[in-house]
Structure 1
Amino acid sequence: MQENSTPIQNITLPAGQPSQQIFSLWDILTSGGVVGNIIMVLIFLLGLLALYVFIERYLFLSRASVQTPDFLENIDDFVQQGKIEAAVDYCQSVNSPEARMIEKGLTRIGRPIADISNAMQNQGQLEVSRFEKNLNLLASAAGAAPMLGFLGTVIGMIMAFFEISNVTGAVSPKLLASGIYTAMATTAAGLAVGIPAYFFYNILVTKVDRMVLKIQTHVNEFLDTLNKPI
């Protein structure tokens, strides 16, 4: 077997038969030189970052979305009986996003409904910021990975054509093709990271939107509870 400078190796066959090449993905990914390898490492790190953020956020949101049975009914009973301190203690024991928002409203009971609503909305903004933590990193990874891949391809094409320009005589199509597919490896790697990261981001955003709608529903029901005659 005779090794070539390109990531695909030639196999010498008996006379009269065309030479065949063995496709090696690893060789192609690592054949871009120093610049190409640096870009590949950056894309790989972005992929790890996207995977970590997705798993961490998904588990966090799944835990935060666990519902406590009869939560609002119990709060309603405490409020109707005038047991505000017991209701606050109950919210602290539940320790969910909607429980923290309702706890904030319970501590404002006695004030106008507008003040209670504003306090709960402020707490809600804090909860939403917790939901959306690090989602910007995931969105950045989804956009940056393909861009890095394109950058690697452009640099690889420039280097490939520069080498071809130094070749005297006719340029072999095989030499041109090897330079092109080597340069395009970074684009493939960037898309392989960027596409899943994009779907990961949208999955988490959808989950956050559902949770925001749920806690807003709980807040509205709690405000309706306060308007009931005791």
Structure 2
Amino acid sequence: MLLTELTQLVFAQAVTPAVTIKKTEFSFWEILFHGGPFAKIVMVTVLLLGVFSVYLFFERFFFIRRMASKTDSNFMNNIEDFIRNGKIEAAADYCKTQNSPESRILEKGISRLGRPVSDIVSAMESQAQVEVANMEKNLNLLAAVPSIAPMLGLLGTVIGMIIAFFDLSHSEDAFSPKTLSEGIYTALGQTAVGLAVAIPANFFYNLLLTRIDKFILRAQNISGEFLDIINKPL
């Protein structure tokens, strides 16, 4: 009897058709634009903010690097030689030919030679502020992206969750976990994209600030060297 039951069980397993499990591949691109018109508008806006932040970063990065690469390595030595030889106008003209932030700062100081040191320092500090302002142009827009992008993503998530539960509450069919989960992962995709845009934008912003801080330190050193030159006894 037992042998007969075992034989029937083996036979039943042998004739049972194999169940094919369909594996669904994760597609983030499908999640990005899987939603209503509002979700698509939010997603496109966040992506445009990402493109805008990349453009601002490279535009400012190459501008700052181009400005920093214009200064001659023997710049201060040449300035000292001109001043030692009493060629003040030649020193100013040399600064104009360099056309770099450092040379423009020193040009302001050279043009004030003969006046009190406080006037020279004030003139160079004012020009340094102008140069820093030029480097920081549109940097406030880049700083706004890490704040706006997550907020837009969070707004899309909240609206998406509201729509998902609203549709579920007004559905006359039986409860479907698929419908609810689809609405939830679509809504969470908004926040994920917002963070994906905000994190690189924040990194770009701080990287540019670091390069500007290096320029400020370099400008302070050059200004100090210039003051040492004009105060050094002949």
The normalised TM-score by structure 1 is 0.90
1:12-161 alignment runs, 5 A limit: 16-66=19-69, 67-161=71-165
**Which residue of 200, 205, 211 maps to 1:196?**
200
Aligned residue in 1 for 2:231:
227
Counterpart AA for 1:41:
V
**Which residue of 162, 168, 180 maps to 2:166?**
162
Structure 2 distance, partners of 1:55, 1:137, is 14
Displacement of 1:21: 2.7
Give secondary structure in 1 for the equivalent of 2:72. coil
Counterpart AA for 1:153:
T
CA offsets 1:95-117 (integer angstroms, 9 cap, x no match): 11110000001111110011111
Displacement of 1:148: 0.7
Q: Hey, which of these two has a bigger chunk of helix by percent?
A: 2
CA offsets 1:58-78 (integer angstroms, 9 cap, x no match): 101111112411111110110
Aligned residue in 2 for 1:10:
none
Counterpart AA for 2:231:
N
Displacement of 1:131: 1.4
Structure 2 distance, partners of 1:86, 1:40, is 58
* Structure 2: segments with no counterpart, 5+ residues: 1-16
Displacement of 1:27: 2.1
Report the RMSD for the aligned CA atoms in angstroms.
1.5
Structure 2 distance, partners of 1:125, 1:202, is 19
Aligned residue in 2 for 1:3:
none
After TM superposition, what 4+ stretches of structure 1 lie above 6 angstroms from structure 2?
Answer: none
* Structure 1: segments with no counterpart, 5+ residues: 1-13
Structure 2 distance, partners of 1:219, 1:203, is 25
Q: Rg: which structure is higher?
A: 2
Displacement of 1:190: 0.8
Give secondary structure in 2 for the equivalent of 1:118. helix
Displacement of 1:169: 5.7
Structure 1 distance, partners of 2:35, 2:224, is 58
CA offsets 1:124-157 (integer angstroms, 9 cap, x no match): 1101101111111111012111111111001100
Displacement of 1:173: 1.5
